[in-house]
Amino acid sequence: MTKEFQPAYRKMSITELKRRTRLAVEKLADCTVCAQHCHVNRLEGQLGFCRAGREAVVASYGSHWGEEEVLVGQNGSGTIFFSYCSMSCEFCQNCEISYHGEGRDVTASELADIMLSLQQTGCHNINLVSPSHFVPQILEALVLAVEEGLNLPLVYNTGCYDDLETIKLLDGIVDIYMPDIKFSDDQNGKKYASAPRYFTVAREVVKEMYRQVGDLQKDDRNIARRGLLVRHLVMPEDLAGSEQVVQFLANEISPDTYLHIMKQYYPAHRAGKYPELNRPVYNREHRWAVKKAKEAGLRRILS
């Protein structure tokens, strides 16, 4: 890609961006922002599954170096960690943030200032971690940040339990989608993450993400600029259903899907309740998942 690259939202009129924002905020009144579809009125302070209200809640932000190399580059990924979550994984490694909700409420203006400060420090992107339940608030902040000169691609870094219509509102706004496909079995998604129909939802969402942005593209510095980057965490006893995940990506998305097969699972949070979750992943289990991805025809595998 050329050095003249512009983020998608920079090609959208501010009028259209404000219209999308208004539609997203309206979803808060009978909340269907994420796939839980709680139908509570968050505009009036009612709380649903995620326990998040009208304002976004931010746990931390800054230049982050623990992401994939194509996001980090030389200056880091401008990461914003949102509190709470659209799921409740029994093995969550960030439970202080996602379950206990550590963080502080921020206004749209404050969130816009955070985005602009990350740009000022030289970060390569704005990396929105666990954004699914705060899309309206993110868009409200984006309108303000764009007016003040924000010019970095947005990374939508999600556990993939997103509302399809919400994702459609982000068409032409998000440049890089980074879904973490956790399970290929709906029952395991419900049992271990309180996410009914998890893979059914994830399949629809990832297809829409790919339709919007296509395969991952990088610039001449090897920095991601646009496209789909999928994560998949290998779990003990193949509870994640890795073979089905990679077959879905190869056959229904693209053999050029950029896939990071991760092996950093360990029994955190409430994993000790489940004998099948209560151990680390073996190296052989990770090697098997990588082997299955290659056999499925995937050509861009990070492991």
- CATH number, domain containing residue 97: 3.20.20.70
Q: What is the pLDDT of residue 167?
A: 98
Q: In sequence order, which ranges of 170-216 are alpha helices (DSSP H)?
A: 186-193, 198-213
d(CA 67, CA 121): 17
Determine, yes or no, domain membership for 144. Answer: yes
The answer to whether position 280 is within a domain reads: yes
User: What is the spatial distance between Cα 121 and Cα 75, in angstroms, rounded to a whole number?
Assistant: 8
Domain total of the chain: 1
Which residues are within 8 A (CB) of 50 and not within 5 positions of it... i.e. 6 or more apart?
Answer: 34, 36, 38, 84, 85, 86, 133
The answer to whether residue 211 sits within a structural domain is: yes
- pLDDT band of 3, cuts 50, 70, 90: low
* 63: phi then psi, degrees, rounded to nearest 5: -70, 125
Residues near 154 by Cβ (< 8 Å), separated by ≥ 6?
7, 8, 9, 125, 126, 128, 142, 173, 174, 175, 176
- The torsion of the CA quartet 100, 108, 65, 198, rounded to 10 degrees, works out to 50
Distance between CA atoms of residues 260 and 262, nearest Å: 6
Structure tokens at 64: 């982050």
Parent domain of 262: 8-302
pLDDT tens per residue across span 220-277: 999 999 999 999 999 999 999 999 999 999 999 999 999 999 999 999 999 999 999 9
**Cα 68 to the chain's mean position, in Å?**
14
- Give the residue-averaged pLDDT of 12-28: 98
Residue 228, SS3 per DSSP: strand
Q: What percent of the chain has pLDDT over 70?
A: 99
Residue 3 lies in a domain: no
pLDDT for position 4: 74
| Direct distance between the N- and C-terminal alpha carbons of the chain, in angstroms, rounded to an integer | 25
Cα 205 from Cα 260, distance rounded (Å): 18
Question: Rounded CA gap, 177 and 166, in Å?
Answer: 13
pLDDT, tens only, 77-123? 999 999 999 999 999 999 999 989 999 999 999 999 999 999 999 99
Q: What is the pLDDT of residue 2?
A: 42
pLDDT range class, residue 1, cuts 50, 70, 90: very low
Distance CA 219, CA 1 (A): 5
2 occurs within a structural domain: no
**H/E element, 13:** none
Work out the pLDDT band at 12, boundaries 50, 70, 90.
Answer: very high
Q: Is the pLDDT of residue 39 over 50?
A: yes
Helices (H), ranges, 30-77: 69-72
Q: Does residue 1 belong to any structural domain of this protein?
A: no
CA distances in angstroms from 227 to 47, 140, 141, listed in the order given = 33, 23, 23
Q: What is the DSSP string of 71-100?
A: HHTTT-EEEEEESS-S---TT-TTHHHHTT
Neighbour tally for 144: CB within 10 Å: 18
